[in-house]
Amino acid sequence: MNYRHSFHAGNSADVVKHSVLIALVRALQHKPGALTLIDTHAGCGLYDLGGDQALRTGEATGGVLRAFADADPLLDDYRAAVRAVNAGDAPRLYPGSPRILAQLLRPQDSLILNEKHPEDAAALRAAMRGVTAAIHERDAYELWLAMLPTRTPRGVVVVDPPYEQTDERARIAATLAVAMRKWAHGVTVIWYPLKDRAAHTRWKEQLRRLGIPKLLTVEHWLYDADQPGLYNGAGLFIVNPPYAFTQALPPLLEALRIALAPEGHRGAIAAHWLGGQG
């Protein structure tokens, strides 16, 4: 599945991913110790919702625009992050994970970004101008392991690939297994698209067999039944989420479900433990 960020900026997957990511980092920041934030597939950093690629899919209509039309205060932090890159209330630009993470930085925190595609890397550097961040142009899985353990005692690795390669899931599983041996206590967030439940169940079982003690999955299904051949939703695997985050997660997920459910569908979003916490 080809999932280039520029075609899907601001869709429902971005709303869930960035809402959860904001909540996760802020929960970790309850402690004053420094955090290293690493984005292995950073993309362009900033996207024009009025550009040709975004308009070709029109997915922002079912994502960020729905979130902005919803009044639930649990989505205020997400909306504030989007407003921060726009001159007015209506979102014209959409911040990718690098710009979201940059907004969350405290003076003691650091940000490491990586984007292998040369054109996207150049766009990323332009989008991050004025932000203190190390920007790399390397293989994402090589960089993921090279940066571990982080220089600070705590950190978050965000793995958000386009799933262009047929072996993407296998590479993620293999790299995560090595990463856990190097950095067992670290927090890792892995984004994935959902197309059919059977394939996803097989991948969950593969990750379950890694034996990670604290592995949470957040699954957001847009439709009440699979739509064959279509994008049906997206999810996140989260390794070692902090307690404060997991306790606050259910009401946030319910707010996201209500805001993003397509017309005529209730949708579903829930978090489940795959590791020993469940």
Q: Any catalytic annotation for residue 89?
A: no
Catalytic residue among 160, 167, 224, 226: 160
Chain-centre distance for alpha carbon 265: 24
**Helices 118-127, 97-104: crossing angle, 10 deg rounding:** 30
The radius of gyration of the chain from alpha carbons, rounded to an integer in Å, stands at: 17
Mark 224-250 as b/e (b = at least 16 C-beta within 10 Å). Answer: eeeeeeebbbbbbbbbbbbeebbeebe
What is the torsion angle, in degrees rounded to the nearest 10, for the CA atoms of residue 29, residue 219, residue 249 and residue 106? 20
The 3 state secondary structure assigned to 60-86 is: HHHCHHHHHHCCCHHHHHHHHHHHCCC
Distance CA 18, CA 36 (A): 17
Distance CA 252, CA 269 (A): 10
Coil, strand or helix at 48: strand
Give the residue numbers marked as catalytic.
160
